[in-house]
Amino acid sequence: MRSNLAVIGVGHLGRHHVRLLKELDCNLVAAAEPDERAREQAMTQFGIDVVADYRDLIGRVDAVTVVVPTRLHREVAGFFLENGVDVLAEKPIARTLVEGQELVALAKKHGRILQVGHVERFNPVLKGIADIGKNARYIESHRLAPFSFRSTDIGVVLDLMIHDLDLVLALVQDEIVSVDAFGGAVFTPAEDMASAVIKFKHGAVAHLTANRVALKAMRKMRVFSPDGYVSLDFHAAQGMVVKKQPGWDLQKLEIDKIDRAQVGDLWKFVFEGLLSLHEYKLDEGNPLRDELAAFLQCVRDRSRPLVSGEDGVAALAAAEQVIAAIARNRWD
């Protein structure tokens, strides 16, 4: 049976939700948007009913995607959960950790699906990370974007870095023991650039950089483990995995005795004899579409989302630690 869905908020990202949901296996019955101009644009562009008050949708929908400013997530997502409607809330799950925990509690109390929109989890380039496994020792990421005039109610940690915080937590699956961070405001009252070093209980370290006042967009991550490393470019949908060949043995290899002059093709010697290299080029993926399709599947079969409410809370908790560290090192 096809679910009846609505999109709450038809701003820049909300319109993408509407466009993609119209292509997926559901009944997109309506949207909600308080701004009259945006409401009329959505009705004209997509030919759907768009109401001014999201509360008017109760009784018409089984599930909603919540694409409103972060400060409204607790109010809007909480309203639908309390009224028996499944929710996909865009990231971050809420403005504060307490509000995020309240949403998780409401979903449990009312037996509802709560998924959080950490869309990078659905990026096909993540196949590279699976090859390295959960043995990551060092992770570095750079997530840069030109100033967009969107999400100005939150800083860059909750706006951009939280994507990488979620990815790191999903990969490492360990307890954070320390966070050091630096950042500051450039164009907005909150931080617009931030750099954080996060250390985990069993030795893994993540160095994350986020900047929303950059000249060019960049979304890259590298993951190093004792078995090799992965280089990921989320923006270009490319990935490269370098792993040790099964016969790799540093002690037997005696690297200092290798005469490089006698090795005709050093690159071939290393990457075909000692290491394996696999490149991914993934042009066909649409992470947002896949995220929405996964949500619809969870609504149908009542399964746990790939990015659950608890995952969203964990990412928000890590983000709050980064923000607190920035406050200790604030440059103003």
Q: Are residues 226 and 154 part of one domain?
A: yes
Q: Are residues 186 and 66 part of one domain?
A: no
**Cis amide leading into 92 (omega within 30):** yes
295 neighbors 251 (Cβ within 8 angstroms): no
Q: Are residues 101 and 60 part of one domain?
A: yes
213 neighbors 203 (Cβ within 8 angstroms): no
pLDDT at 36: 96
- Cα–Cα distance measured from residue 314 to residue 317, given in angstroms and rounded to the nearest whole number: 5
Q: Are residues 191 and 70 part of one domain?
A: no
Q: Are residues 128 and 271 part of one domain?
A: yes
Q: Are residues 217 and 322 part of one domain?
A: yes
Percentage of residues in the chain with pLDDT exceeding 70? 86
Q: Are residues 58 and 148 part of one domain?
A: no
Express each pLDDT in 284-304 by its tens digit. 679 999 999 999 999 999 999
According to the per-residue pLDDT averaged within each range, which of 23-37, 124-138, 223-237, 269-283 is highest?
A: 23-37
Domain around 237: 124-284+318-328
- Cα–Cα distance measured from residue 179 to residue 167, given in angstroms and rounded to the nearest whole number: 16
Q: What's the total number of domains in the chain?
A: 2
- Cα–Cα distance measured from residue 121 to residue 285, given in angstroms and rounded to the nearest whole number: 12
Q: At 244, which CATH number?
A: 3.30.360.10
How would residue 229 be classed by pLDDT, with cut points 50, 70 and 90?
Answer: confident
Q: Are residues 252 and 298 part of one domain?
A: no
Average pLDDT on 48-61 reads 98
Q: Are residues 109 and 49 part of one domain?
A: yes
pLDDT at 172: 92
Q: Are residues 279 and 292 part of one domain?
A: no
Q: Are residues 9 and 102 part of one domain?
A: yes
Express each pLDDT in 149-202 by its tens digit. 776 778 999 999 999 999 999 999 999 999 999 998 888 878 899 999 999 999
Q: Are residues 108 and 40 part of one domain?
A: yes
Express each pLDDT in 191-225 by its tens digit. 899 999 999 999 999 999 999 999 899 999 999 98
In a domain, 311, yes or no: no
Tokens standing for residue 25: 């296996």
